[in-house]
Amino acid sequence: MMDNKKMKSNQPQQNVHKVPQKWIRHIFEKSPVLVYVTNYDGIFLDINSAGVAMLGGESREEFIGKISIRSFYADPDDRKRFQDLIADQGFIQDFETQFRRIDKKIFDVRVTGFVRQTAVGKIIGYEGFIVDITDRKLAERALKESEEKYRTVVENSLSAILVHQDGRFLFANQRCADLAGYDRPDDLLGKYFWEFVHPEDRAIVKERGLMREKGQLTPEHYSFRILEKDGKTIHWVELRATHAMYMGKPSVVANFIDITKSKKAEEEIRQLSRRLVKVREEERKMFAGDLHDDVGQILTAMHFDLDSLRKIAPSHDIAQKQRYEKLVRNVEMLADIVRKTTSYLRPDILDMMVLIPALTRHIEKFQANQPGIHVEFKALGLKKRLNPEIELAIYRIVQESLTNIAKHARATSVDIMLTYSHPHVILAVRDNGVGQNESGRERKKRREGEGIGLLTMRERAVSLGGSFEISSLPGKGTTIRAEIPV
């Protein structure tokens, strides 16, 4: 008996305090959400002030015993679905639907409700609360619309778009998959981005991509070749990429376009330019030959004839002899002009295609004719012969550069540097002449209005896949730079 008393005394005492009714009423009235009580048919038995305002009313009396909550459902099917769920479960939580206010304005709500039952389990009504979620829904719809716009733009873009992180694809659009020879973008995910780059371009593309992930400075715009999945189909692409944070980690967002057709067109134009340069050179050679052979022979014959006439002229006719001597001198001058012209058109040494001796000889002749201009010439790294077309192009660019300097630069010094730096040969011709001040617009205008000499130099470099640039500053002279792949 004692033990039972002890056991009872050791059990925790539960002090259940009944919440005063006025507190419950205070919470009911002060709640910022709609709180309701209805009968089985949905007629309001009670509603708080926040609920009256939410539904567009002015007082509780408008609702209690008069209006059914069912009339506020914008979609009657939602109300039926709500009733079915709450009847089956006894409660429902976070049921989202739309209500229509008294003024017909529709807004989004989230309903939580419970059944009211008799002691024997018969449903006699409902109670619960309703939260206005219009702002959240508007934000969700705006986000969804934004995502749809983004998805539409990305998936229908003519550019391939991708994101890579730690070197692997995290995202790719359909165009990217198409260029890589895959059916779906998901097939690319997880693969290294450099797997599809042409072997000859792979190292530099990989290096730049990984450096860009780390935020290091790399070219943001360049072109390279990619391979389709079959390993045979090649596309030239032009890439634009930038560093970005994606899901909290450094990544690269890139897009590229297929420029294969334009590359092929450029190559066709380049080949055409090379053929034109070659034809022009052959014509110069032919013209120089004709000038030397035909005109040279005629001048030689004239020289002999005049010399014979001078010899048989009467010794006392001094005036006649002087005329013959003047004619002979004119013929000799004309013959010298023909020799210089044929040498300019086609130097004999070019037929042997020995570039350095040809340049050295031309520079020596230039200095002999232009004693006020000192020319310094250096050739570095040229341990073996270059392609004949490249050697001819370099010779002609130097030849034309010196001609332009003599005509326009008013220079006293010229530095010519020819360097082989794999995989290019680089020619730089610098003078200390008057130069000129050029803005970007003026430089473009100057290029559009280039004379035949500059155009020919540019054409020769570009036709061999190289580049040609001119830079100039007032009082600082002019630099011509040609870079040609070997």
The class (CATH top level) of 350-485 is alpha beta
- Count the neighbouring beta carbons within 10 Å of the beta carbon of residue 85: 15
- Per CATH, 21-138 and 157-258 having the same topology is answered yes
> Is 427:417 a contact under the CB 8 Å cutoff?
yes
Which class is 21-138 in CATH?
alpha beta
> How far is it, in rounded angstroms, from Cα 204 to Cα 195?
13
Q: Which amino acid is present at 121?
A: G
Distance separating alpha carbons of residues 96 and 141, to the nearest angstrom = 14
For residue 20, cis peptide bond before it (omega within 30 degrees of 0): no
Rounded mean pLDDT, 293-314: 75
For the record, the structure tokens of 369 come out as: 């004719």
pLDDT of 108 > 80? The answer is: yes
12 falls in which pLDDT band (50, 70, 90)? very low
Indicate whether 127 pLDDT > 90.
yes
- Residue 65 clears pLDDT 80, i.e. is over it: yes
Out of 23-37, 163-177, 284-298, 378-392, least confident range: 284-298
The answer to whether 3 touches 36, Cβ cutoff 8 Å, is no
> Stretch 30-53: mean pLDDT, rounded?
93
- Where do the structural domains in the chain lie, given as residue ranges? 21-138, 157-258, 264-346, 350-485
482 — pLDDT class (breaks 50, 70, 90): very high
In this predicted structure, what is the pLDDT of residue 200? 92
**Stretch 421-429: mean pLDDT, rounded?**
92
Amino acid at 149: K
Burial class (CB within 10 angstroms; exposed 0-12, middle 13-18, buried 19+) of 65: exposed
Which pLDDT belongs to residue 347?
A: 60
CATH architecture of 157-258: 2-Layer Sandwich (3.30)
For every residue of 400-435, DSSP letters joined together read HHHHHIIIII--SEEEEEEEEETTEEEEEEEE-S--
As a whole number, the mean pLDDT across the chain is: 84
User: What pTM did the predictor assign?
Assistant: 0.49
Instruction: Establish whether the linkage from the previous residue to 423 is cis, with ω within 30° of 0.
Output: yes
pLDDT the model gives residue 232: 84
Give the strand pairing for 168-172 and 221-227.
unpaired
* 324, pLDDT greater than 70: yes
Lowest mean pLDDT among 345-354, 384-393, 438-447: 438-447
Q: Is the dihedral of CA 427, 432, 436, 439 positive or negative?
A: positive
228-264: per-residue pLDDT in tens? 988 888 899 999 999 999 888 999 999 999 998 888 8
